[in-house]
Amino acid sequence: MNGSSVLVVEDEALILLDIQSALEEAGFLVVAANSAALAIEAFDADPQSFKALISDIRLGSGKTGWEVARHLRQANSALPVIYISGDSDIHWGAEGVPGSVMIAKPFAVVQVITALSTLLNQHVPASPPPSQN
Amino acid sequence: MNGSSVLVVEDEALILLDIQSALEEAGFLVVAANSAALAIEAFDADPQSFKALISDIRLGSGKTGWEVARHLRQANSALPVIYISGDSDIHWGAEGVPGSVMIAKPFAVVQVITALSTLLNQHVPASPPPSQN
Amino acid sequence: MNGSSVLVVEDEALILLDIQSALEEAGFLVVAANSAALAIEAFDADPQSFKALISDIRLGSGKTGWEVARHLRQANSALPVIYISGDSDIHWGAEGVPGSVMIAKPFAVVQVITALSTLLNQHVPASPPPSQN
Amino acid sequence: MNGSSVLVVEDEALILLDIQSALEEAGFLVVAANSAALAIEAFDADPQSFKALISDIRLGSGKTGWEVARHLRQANSALPVIYISGDSDIHWGAEGVPGSVMIAKPFAVVQVITALSTLLNQHVPASPPPSQN
Amino acid sequence: MNGSSVLVVEDEALILLDIQSALEEAGFLVVAANSAALAIEAFDADPQSFKALISDIRLGSGKTGWEVARHLRQANSALPVIYISGDSDIHWGAEGVPGSVMIAKPFAVVQVITALSTLLNQHVPASPPPSQN
Amino acid sequence: MNGSSVLVVEDEALILLDIQSALEEAGFLVVAANSAALAIEAFDADPQSFKALISDIRLGSGKTGWEVARHLRQANSALPVIYISGDSDIHWGAEGVPGSVMIAKPFAVVQVITALSTLLNQHVPASPPPSQN
């Protein structure tokens, strides 16, 4: 129900690999995408299978990380979202989604793992159907 | 969907009246109960109609405020909860529910209104069904 | 430097008046606008004079409250933002800006005042120029 | 145990009166002081009787609001502290105490009441002696 | 005074070992218990020696994780508490203690370490006896 | 702009080395200083190159960690600050700076890394110059 995979979107191959390796070593399942189009395609194929999004802002041509996050939040309004950026962090206040985290480059990968763990741990479980218990 | 009424449970008539008056003057609809049994009866009759609980801890014979809150949270796991107490606040760490607020007597009624407003404003809306928007 | 006025945008005249009166009675200066276009015009004429935005989501034809907030945050990325909505709150996760508050109708006006006060009080002052003090 | 009075320190008589009146109308007991020396004297005479400090930064000759807050926190390390200032807010990051709130002038008095209520409501009760319950 | 050990309660041996190994590798002292009875016995023998509780909810016959946490919070009302559960997370709103964290299975062990570190770092030191300093 | 190095101040050589090694392994650049004087000298030579301070409280003769933090916050009022201490944590409420974290000895180094990552991730980007975007 919470999904099992973390979707990572980054068009620079080396940074994508770095984040993917670190997350997998920390015990997370990762779906890596090097473009917005591939990320959205993977998500739309099975929205329930994802538990978080980590996205760069500038993703070459096509949609930006801001747009990827909004698309995913349409389907899952509480999906944890982490943005990574070298120069777009000043636009986070206008373009980010509520409850998201912005990590400015250069960053240590442990910052991404800490942000991801913290957002997952804050995830409030949904209300159960009424009961008398 | 968020409910419209605030349930206030307090067995001291004057304090109950004080809180009820202040909340109504501030624009809230209030259902007042002077015992745990009446509070639970009112809630169970229509759980969807309540948006928050404000409860004293010691309520004479019958259930305590701790038990009233747990009963309501079984039906609505994210219901805002505010406890008021003169001498039971030291047990909040063991008996309170997550995300609740404990206000120690003596208190100014504006503390109750601020706690209620803050908890209602933090209420994260539920996720909509998936869409392509 | 923090601005002095609160910009309130709401296309229903009675609700706009209610909020404006309550804020003014509480000691705030208010600029009221009944359309997105008027709100943006007022803001763009003097961005420095505003300290917060309170906006309904559906504003008739023209821009939505989501778009008004993003426009203002382009100029002031830390501007406190409060949304008010009867049926659009489920889209807050996708369309809201970071750090904003969503208040669902029906609400008590004191919730708006509490949200506004809380956001203004959280406003971290900017760093001063380096000194040896 | 939590104390019953709020200590307000402000050397401008009119502002002091404004805050005192608003707090009393909201149901708080207030001890008003128009200098740092008087504030510290009142506090040291009975530290247990105070539940919060609200202080201007510049207080004429003598100690500043920064120093008053540190003095009080020596005796009560969790005392809620609210600073008010026209031009010293940029030094809050260096001179303020942890968990304090800085409110920049000009402000609406409701901001002070909201900050005070919020800090008092966050006050975590002390641990009780071990029991088997 | 803060205690030195983390108490981990989990009736599935492999998961218990996983968590214990990861915590010890991260530098924490761990006391592992595979039942509620053993956990409570260990705690009651020396409550001051523990700094946090990590507990599964379903623990076979005997008490649940909810009950273990309440028992420990009776003796130490601010003890950091982390729950782990595969299917009981929907009851956290009713059965959890204030300030606790719920981590839903499946999880990465780094989420537990992040939650533990964060709760320990938030631990506000107790007030010292009054001094003139 | 955010700086690239973390300044660590600790007069016990072994603890300093432990923290430095762990931070570097986690991907951070570290400037290590074994006295307040060296720390301040390094910072003042290039304030823009630092992104955070981690400091012990007792640093032998000379300034304390409290004073080091205040000195750095004069130049950068939002600099993330983490204190480490064996016996001075009870003074944090009086001597600490706003938004800082106090970690009591003994601690696991992962607590320092989590606190550092969390504070860096909370760093709100500065407002950009007004634009029409």
Quick: pLDDT tens for C80-122: 999 999 887 889 999 999 999 999 988 999 999 999 999 999 8
Quick: pLDDT tens for E41-68: 999 999 999 999 999 999 998 999 999 9
Nearest to A4 among E103, E106, E115 (CB): E106
Average pLDDT, chain F: 90
Query: Rounded to whole angstroms, what are the CA distances from E23 to C101, D98, E17?
Result: 37, 30, 10
Binned at pLDDT 50, 70 and 90, residue D86 comes out as confident
Subunits next to E (3 or more Cβ pairs <8 Å) are: A, B, D, F
A89 touching C (Cβ < 8 Å): no
**Do chains F and E meet with 3 or more Cβ pairs nearer than 8 Å?**
yes
Nearest to A90 among F26, F114, F125 (CB): F125
Distance from the Cα of residue A57 to its chain's centroid: 11
Q: Which of F2, F40, F77 to mutate to test the interface with C (most CBs of C within 10 A)?
A: F77
How much is the pTM?
A: 0.91
Binned at pLDDT 50, 70 and 90, residue F124 comes out as low
Which of the residue ranges D82-91, E22-31, E96-105, F11-20 would you say has the lowest mean pLDDT? Answer: D82-91
**Paired sense of beta strands C5-9 and B81-85, if any:** unpaired
Quick: pLDDT tens for C17-33: 999 999 999 999 999 99
The distance of E26 to chain F (nearest Cα, Å) reads: 6
Show residues of chain C in contact with D109, CB under 8 Å: 27
Show residues of chain B in contact with D123, CB under 8 Å: 104
Please, are residues A128 and B77 in contact by the beta-carbon 8 Å criterion? yes
For residue C131, the chain F residue with the least C-alpha distance is F75
A54 forms bridges with which residues in the sheet? A8, A82
What's the confidence (pLDDT) of residue C122?
Answer: 87
A35-39, long-range: CB within 8 Å, 24+ apart, which pairs? A35/A9, A35/A11, A35/A59, A35/A60, A35/A62, A36/A9, A36/A62, A36/A63, A36/A64, A36/A65, A36/A67, A36/A68, A37/A62, A37/A63, A38/A9, A39/A7, A39/A9, A39/A68
Cβ separation D94–F78 shorter than 8 A: no
Question: Which DSSP string corresponds to E45-85?
Answer: H-GGGEEEEEEES--SSS--HHHHHHHHHHH-TT--EEEEE
Quick: pLDDT tens for E97-122: 999 999 998 899 999 999 999 999 98
C121 touching F (Cβ < 8 Å): no
D109 touching C (Cβ < 8 Å): yes
pLDDT > 90: what percent of chain C?
81
User: Looking at the predicted structure, is the pLDDT value of residue E70 above 90?
Assistant: yes
What's the confidence (pLDDT) of residue A125?
Answer: 52
Average pLDDT, chain B: 90
Query: What is the C-alpha radius of gyration for chain F, rounded to an integer number of angstroms?
Result: 15
C99 DSSP assignment: T
ipTM of the complex: 0.89
Torsions phi, psi for A5 (to 5 deg): -110, 150
Show residues of chain E in contact with A128, CB under 8 Å: 90-91
Cβ separation A127–E93 shorter than 8 A: yes
D77 touching B (Cβ < 8 Å): no
Cβ separation D76–E130 shorter than 8 A: yes
The distance of C122 to chain D (nearest Cα, Å) reads: 7
Average pLDDT over residues E93-99: 95
Question: What is the C-alpha to C-alpha distance for residues D48 and E74, in angstroms, rounded to an integer?
Answer: 25
Q: Which of E77, E79, E121 to mutate to test the interface with D (most CBs of D within 10 A)?
A: E77
E67 forms bridges with which residues in the sheet? none
Show residues of chain B in contact with E93, CB under 8 Å: 73, 77-79, 97-99
B114 touching D (Cβ < 8 Å): yes
CATH topology of domain B5-122: Rossmann fold (3.40.50)
Q: List for chain B the helix, strand, coil content (%; round to 5).
A: 45, 20, 35
B86 touching E (Cβ < 8 Å): no
Cβ separation A77–B126 shorter than 8 A: yes
Subunits next to D (3 or more Cβ pairs <8 Å) are: B, C, E, F
How many other C-beta atoms lie within 10 A of the C-beta of residue E11?
17
The distance of F133 to chain A (nearest Cα, Å) reads: 10
Question: What is the C-alpha to C-alpha distance for residues E11 and E33, in angstroms, rounded to an integer?
Answer: 8
Show residues of chain F in contact with E117, CB under 8 Å: 108, 110-111, 113-115
What's the confidence (pLDDT) of residue D87?
Answer: 82
For residue F128, the chain A residue with the least C-alpha distance is A90
Torsions phi, psi for B30 (to 5 deg): -125, 135
Binned at pLDDT 50, 70 and 90, residue D122 comes out as confident
What is residue E11's three-state secondary structure? coil
Average pLDDT over residues B21-44: 97
What's the confidence (pLDDT) of residue E127?
Answer: 44
**Do chains E and C meet with 3 or more Cβ pairs nearer than 8 Å?**
no
The distance of D98 to chain B (nearest Cα, Å) reads: 21
A85 touching C (Cβ < 8 Å): no
What's the confidence (pLDDT) of residue A132?
Answer: 35
How many other C-beta atoms lie within 10 A of the C-beta of residue C39?
26
F124 touching A (Cβ < 8 Å): yes
Question: What is the C-alpha to C-alpha distance for residues D45 and D65, in angstroms, rounded to an integer?
Answer: 19
F125 versus E4: the higher-pLDDT residue is E4
What's the confidence (pLDDT) of residue A124?
Answer: 60
D115 touching C (Cβ < 8 Å): yes
Tokens of E42: 């260990």
Show residues of chain D in contact with C128, CB under 8 Å: 90-91
Q: Which of C72, C81, C92 to mutate to test the interface with A (most CBs of A within 10 A)?
A: C92
For residue A123, the chain B residue with the least C-alpha distance is B124
What's the confidence (pLDDT) of residue C45?
Answer: 97
In sequence order, which ranges of B6-108 are alpha helices (DSSP H)? Answer: 13-25, 36-45, 65-75, 92-95
Question: What is the C-alpha to C-alpha distance for residues F99 and F120, in angstroms, rounded to an integer?
Answer: 12
- Phi-psi domain of B27 (left: phi exceeds 0; alpha: psi -120 through 50; beta: other): left
Torsions phi, psi for E53 (to 5 deg): -125, 135
Please, are residues E10 and E56 in contact by the beta-carbon 8 Å criterion? yes
Tokens of A9: 């979107």
The distance of F25 to chain D (nearest Cα, Å) reads: 30
The distance of B106 to chain E (nearest Cα, Å) reads: 21
Average pLDDT, chain D: 90
Question: What does the buried/exposed string (b/e) look like for B93-115 if buried means 16 or more CB atoms within 10 Å of the residue's CB?
Answer: bbbbbbbbbbbbeebbbbbbbbb
Q: Which of D27, D43, D30, D35 is nearest to D11 (CA)?
A: D35
Q: Which of C42, C12, C14, C40 is nearest to C29 (CA)?
A: C42
Please, are residues D54 and D32 in contact by the beta-carbon 8 Å criterion? no
Binned at pLDDT 50, 70 and 90, residue F125 comes out as low
Handedness of CA C106, C109, C114, C117 (dihedral sign): positive
Query: Rounded to whole angstroms, what are the CA distances from F70 to C128, C132, E14, F77?
Result: 13, 11, 48, 9
Q: Which of C63, C57, C76 is nearest to C119 (CA)?
A: C76
User: Looking at the predicted structure, is the pLDDT value of residue D97 above 80?
Assistant: yes
What's the confidence (pLDDT) of residue C2?
Answer: 60
Query: What is the C-alpha radius of gyration for chain E, rounded to an integer number of angstroms?
Result: 15
Task: List, for chain A, all residue ranges whose pLDDT scores fall below the cut of 70.
Answer: 1-2, 124-133
Tokens of E30: 């761990």
User: Looking at the predicted structure, is the pLDDT value of residue C54 above 80?
Assistant: yes
Show residues of chain C in contact with A102, CB under 8 Å: 98
Subunits next to C (3 or more Cβ pairs <8 Å) are: A, B, D, F
The distance of C12 to chain A (nearest Cα, Å) reads: 26
Quick: pLDDT tens for D10-35: 999 999 999 999 999 999 999 999 99
